[in-house]
């Protein structure tokens, strides 16, 4: 197995306190990256940072609502004041179930603020520092919902489609500054969110529903957060130095084999 080591780098990882974000935070720290974990859940964020530090790796937690530009700017300025920002992982996001008819305005605005404006806020704050150091790597967390139609994911698909096209724009606009920008599009990944969703909506049928959802991926199972983290690590390593402006599905065959 190849280990993609990117030591002596500094990374900002949003939504890094749980699920995919937690796996990315831990994986990057293990690779020698100083991880700045931004999240709205202080308890979970502190727990992840403590786990990372207990393994003699470097990490710091920052309480942040990525939808508030002033908060993002303040934290990014503080981090950059201590050196460069080499990596940005735009992972923070929220899900929603609903179609164009039953999605209300409040939910649409909430998803836009976090999933779209939150990504913009981080890009807007970090890119000037990457330009100053003439280089950087950005990975945006999109979704298979960015590129294929999925039932009852109207608002979520809208936001992840925006993440995908922001990725292309950033890659194009800042390539002359040696800034690479790619996106990852996971299918269903087994996180605590999935377990909570099943328990809340299908009490007593957890095992049955879990198996049903697992089988929506042609490969027959859900992905693991660590698998997404490995892909993110690769994309931010020198091994991926020729890759920019590209979307990477990690979907167990969902997009191609279900079409």
- Condensed to tens digits (0 to 9), the pLDDT of residues 123-135 reads 999 999 999 999 9
> Which segments of the chain have a pLDDT < 70?
1-3, 5, 259
For 221, list phi and psi in degrees, rounded to 5. -155, 165
Q: Measuring CA to CA, which residue among 50, 14, 18 is closest to residue 123?
A: 14
Q: What is the pLDDT of residue 2?
A: 53
The whole-number pLDDT of residue 156 equals: 97
Exactly one of 40, 112, 156, 234 is catalytic; name it: 156
Tokens read off for 21: 């974000």
User: What element of type H or E holds 138?
Assistant: strand 136-141
Is 40 catalytic? The answer is no
Q: How far is Cα 164 from Cα 144, in angstroms, rounded to an integer?
A: 10
CATH class of 9-188+224-257: alpha beta
List the chain domain ranges.
Answer: 9-188+224-257
pLDDT reported for residue 1: 46
Task: Outline where 31-153 has alpha helix (H).
Answer: 42-54, 69-80, 105-111, 118-132
pTM over 0.75: yes
- Cα 175 to the chain's mean position, in Å? 21
- How confident is the model at residue 230, as a pLDDT? 97
Instruction: Please tell me the predicted confidence (pLDDT) of residue 196.
Output: 87
- What pLDDT score was predicted for residue 187? 96
**Residues 214, 216, 221, 227: is their CA dihedral positive or negative?**
negative
What's the pLDDT at 193? 84
């Amino acid at each position: 197995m190849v280990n993609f080591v990117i030591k002596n780098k500094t990374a900002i990882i949003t939504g890094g306190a749980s699920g995919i974000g937690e796996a990315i935070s831990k994986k990057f720290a293990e690779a020698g990256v100083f991880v700045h974990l931004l999240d709205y859940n202080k308890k979970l964020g502190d727990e992840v940072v403590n786990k990372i530090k207990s393994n003699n790796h470097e990490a710091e937690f920052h309480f942040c609502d990525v939808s508030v530009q002033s908060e993002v700017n303040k934290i990014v300025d503080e981090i950059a004041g201590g050196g460069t920002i080499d990596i940005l992982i735009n992972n923070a996001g929220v899900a929603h179930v609903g179609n164009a008819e039953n999605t209300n305005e409040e939910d649409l605005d909430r998803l836009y603020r976090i999933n779209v404006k939150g990504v913009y806020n981080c890009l807007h704050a970090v890119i000037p520092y990457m330009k100053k150091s003439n280089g950087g790597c950005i990975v945006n967390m999109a979704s298979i919902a960015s590129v294929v139609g999925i039932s009852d994911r109207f608002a979520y698909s809208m936001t992840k489609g925006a993440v995908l096209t922001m990725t292309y724009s950033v890659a194009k606009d800042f390539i002359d500054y040696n800034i690479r920008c790619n996106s990852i599009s996971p299918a269903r990944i087994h996180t605590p969110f999935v377990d909570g969703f099943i328990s809340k909506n299908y009490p007593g049928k957890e095992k049955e529903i879990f198996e049903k959802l697992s089988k929506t991926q042609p490969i027959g199972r859900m992905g693991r957060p660590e698998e997404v983290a490995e892909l993110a690590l690769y994309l931010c390593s020198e091994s991926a130095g020729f890759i920019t402006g590209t979307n990477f599905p990690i979907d167990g065959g969902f997009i191609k084999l279900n079409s």
